[in-house]
Structure 1
């Protein structure tokens, strides 16, 4: 069941992601990070202290705050603050916020000041294409002779 869900997620398009709820988005991110060599753990939904995923690779621990919205809402400073607060609790050296939308300038400024990585819609699409499992669609080229 999990393998099928992960395969479906890896073959998704950004428009499919826009329809996910927060919990589904967290699980959508799991195979993307695993393809990058991370061991992933989804935290419990309540009382997660601002970390939705815990990533481990080469002895380093990172936390991810996942924000998925169906509308054009921008992600503000609160998401970055949650990551900064969760770093010590999870004994993580890195933190990031991943979203299917974009960040406010204030969130970008706070993230830069606290060394928190921000993955916005454009970067998420890049990751999806790099690590996804999309079938190759053949282009049909018609050669017309005059």
Structure 2
């Protein structure tokens, strides 16, 4: 889904991307695909190559500029209270390229923050738990999505989701980010910290 949104963003903003051939008729003829399947696969392969190069470059940067005192670990996240967890999620999503808006702490209708990118807005329910997250959190996200008219809904936790919560989320098309998924976001966040540290070192 993110790759499709990326291609749409490139096309919508007329960004030069010679590796991808867009269907010009898609703008005027309903039902016309923006990218032919063959071209999509070709673009996917090119993006995978770029992604691999980025991973290699990041690994080198991590080894050179690693500073454990500036890293945020999952154990630090576990020690946060609910408000700190929400505030940290704001930092994470801002760092990885989302526009973020918080909510009032009372009468938020199940919304803890809103993130937007590529013209899509997603409401997020944050749960910093020591036990598994159940249906209630998913139901709150569903309600918030409808109440605020968002495109997507997500529940983020430092824990895990119950089987019933996963089933409800699948049915209602709510994205779930469990402890493993949150670690991926943390990795991206820490990588940004490395890049900042590297820039500071080069300026010194």
Q: Return the TM-score normalized by structure 1.
A: 0.80
**Structure 1 residue aligned with 2:105, among 45, 48, 53?**
45
In structure 2, C-alpha distance between the alignment counterparts of 1:84 and 1:17, rounded to whole Å: 25
> Is the 2:96–2:188 contact (alpha carbons within 8 Å) kept by the matching residues of 1?
no
Identify, as 1 or 2, the structure richer in strand.
Answer: 1
Unmatched segments (≥5 aa) in structure 1 = 1-9, 136-146
Structure of higher RCO (CA pairs closer than 8 Å, 6+ residues apart): 1
Determine whether 1:102 maps to 2:140.
Answer: no
* RMSD after superposition: 1.7
Count the aligned residue pairs: 125
- The separation in 2 between residues aligned to 1:48 and 1:11, in whole angstroms, is 31
Deviation readout 1:7-33 (Å, 9 max, x if unpaired): xxx831000000101111001011211
Cα deviation, residue 48, structure 1: 0.5
The SS at the match of 2:109 is coil
CA contact (8 A) 1:32 1:132 kept: no
Q: Could you say which structure has the larger radius of gyration?
A: 2
**2:156 aligned with 1:92, yes or no?**
no
Q: Aligned partners of 1:21, 1:90: CA distance in 2, in Å?
A: 26
Unpaired stretches in structure 2, ≥5 consecutive residues:
1-69, 195-204
The whole-number CA distance in structure 2 between the counterparts of 1:130 and 1:59 is 22
Instruction: Please identify runs of 4+ aligned residues in structure 1 that moved more than 6 A.
Output: none
TM-score where L is the length of structure 2: 0.58
